[in-house]
Amino acid sequence: MSYVYVNNAAASWPKAPLVGQAVAAHIEGLPYHAGRSGFSAPDIPGNCRQLLADLLQVPDRERIILTPNATHALNIALQGFHWKPGGAVLTTAAEHNSVLRPLHYLAKKNRLTVHIAPVCREGRLEPEQWETALRKTAPQLAVFTHASNVTGAVNDAALLGRLAKQAGAATLLDASQTLGLVPVLPDVWGIDMVAFTGHKYLLGPGGTGGLYLSPGLELEPVWVGGTGIQSELAEMPPILPSRFEAGTPNDAAFAGLAAALSWNVRNPLDIAGLRQRTKRLALGLAEAGASVIAVSPPGTPVVSFTLTNWNIEDAGDILHKSFHLICRTGLHCAPRIHTCLGTAPAGTVRFSLSRFTRDEDIDYCLAAIRQLQQ
């Protein structure tokens, strides 16, 4: 029996067509690196950067730093930020550990004080609470996710960013759950930094991600080493993106991401259809007796729930082994949100769809849950 895959908030599957071919073609071809090789060759990082700049609607592709994932991008932003002595950072209870753990690390080093704003029972940051927290904490930097990876609730990034700027804070947006699904417009919204990954809703391979830095924002490099340019310097080159891209890049993976980005341009997402399937899944799960975390629009194609008389991990294990259904269970690397949702300490079962999820996949998921609830 084939598997039914509903774990796209973790990693998308299937990938966009031609992604695997693009990766394989680069691996099997003659090694080269644009700017370092002694012969003319395609600029894979530059091409990928341009496609990302077009998607983000930013004019300067060189301000997009390519990274192995969103975690690396967030570490560059957080650890490279120019913190003042005794500085404060404000973040939210919805954040992923890729934000929470770097902040905890920095706090242990006595470099800053971390303040965490609560979220509502949908997992969404309410502007009034955010504004109050900004006023009380006076942070140097405000860090918030565009959408919860647990519930799918999408935040109003433009409004939250504007409130943070009015409070005198720089802004860092984690768009790991939204880029490729909904517009992410840092220059329009006044967001200083945007971290993202390529292996979720952009439909690219693992090992890809990036960080957008707005003009005027300066960071210190977190990783230092070879860049292939200005090798006479004792420090990292001052120019972007080389300043933050030490070492040999994973050009094969970024060739795959570029293929995915190009395919997405040619094949626009049917967001209305995806939302309808997500809604049908949530309603069907509730009818089957699951306790579904209801989320008002806007949202990503994520549905989190718990099951009466079932341990969360046991439910996931049975869904996998008995029903060949691949989903995610537990805390989803976002431990603090579950106190706000009332799902601590065990977490939830999470189904997350993609543009390739079919109606019959929804039917199968619902049939499996109905059997578990009998």
Give one DSSP letter per residue of 81-139, joined into a string: S-PPTTEEEEEETT--HHHHHHHHHHHHTTSEEEEEE---TTSPPPHHHHHHHHHHH--
**What DSSP letter does each residue of 305-321 carry, written as one string?**
EE-TT--HHHHHHHHHH
pLDDT tens digit string along 107-125? 999 889 999 999 999 999 9
Give every CB contact of residue 238 below 8 A, 6+ residues apart in sequence: none
Average pLDDT over residues 174-180: 98
Q: Is the pLDDT of residue 34 over 70?
A: no
> How many Å separate Cα 90 from the centre of its chain?
19
Q: How confident is the model at residue 37 (pLDDT cuts 50, 70, 90)?
A: low
C-alpha span between 65 and 345 (Å, rounded): 36
**Protein fold of 4-15+270-373:** Aspartate Aminotransferase, domain 1 (3.90.1150)
pLDDT score at 167: 98
> First CA to last CA across the chain, in angstroms?
23
Residue 364 phi/psi, 5° resolution? -65, -45
- pLDDT given at position 110: 83
**Whether the Cβ atoms of residue 222 and residue 80 lie closer than 8 Å to each other:** yes
26 vs 189: CA distance, rounded Å: 36
Instruction: Please indicate whether the domains covering 4-15+270-373 and 19-265 agree at the CATH topology level.
Output: no
Contact status, residue 91 vs residue 144, Cβ threshold 8 Å: yes
- Please write the tens of the pLDDT for every residue from 58-79: 999 999 999 999 999 999 999 9
Specify whether the backbone of 138 is left (phi greater than 0), alpha (psi in -120 to 50) or beta: left
Where do we find the tokens 């069907």?
Answer: 284
Q: Can you give the pLDDT at residue 31?
A: 84
Please report which confidence band the pLDDT of residue 32 belongs to, taking 50, 70 and 90 as the band edges. confident
275 alpha-carbon distance from chain centroid: 19
Strands annotated E in 150-227: 170-174, 193-197, 209-213
Confidence of residue 40 (pLDDT cuts 50, 70, 90): low
Task: Give me 275's structure tokens.
Answer: 């939302």
Sequence ranges of the domains in the chain: 4-15+270-373, 19-265
Q: What is the pLDDT of residue 63?
A: 98
38 pLDDT exceeds 60? Answer: no
Which residue type is seen at 48? Answer: C
Would you state the pLDDT for residue 86? Answer: 87
Question: Is residue 1 predicted with pLDDT exceeding 70?
Answer: no
Q: Is the pLDDT of residue 42 over 90?
A: no
Question: At residue 39, does pLDDT exceed 60?
Answer: no
The reply to whether CATH 3.40.50.300 applies to domain 19-265 is no
Which pTM value belongs to this model?
0.96
For residue 374, name the pLDDT band (cuts at 50, 70, 90). confident
| Residue pointed to by tokens 């301000």 | 63
CA–CA dist 146, 153 (Å, integer): 8
pLDDT above 70 coverage of the chain, percent: 98
Q: Is 342 helix (H, G, I), strand (E, B) or coil?
A: coil
Please give the pLDDT value at position 35.
58
pLDDT at residue 41 in the model: 72
Secondary element (H or E) of residue 117: strand 112-117
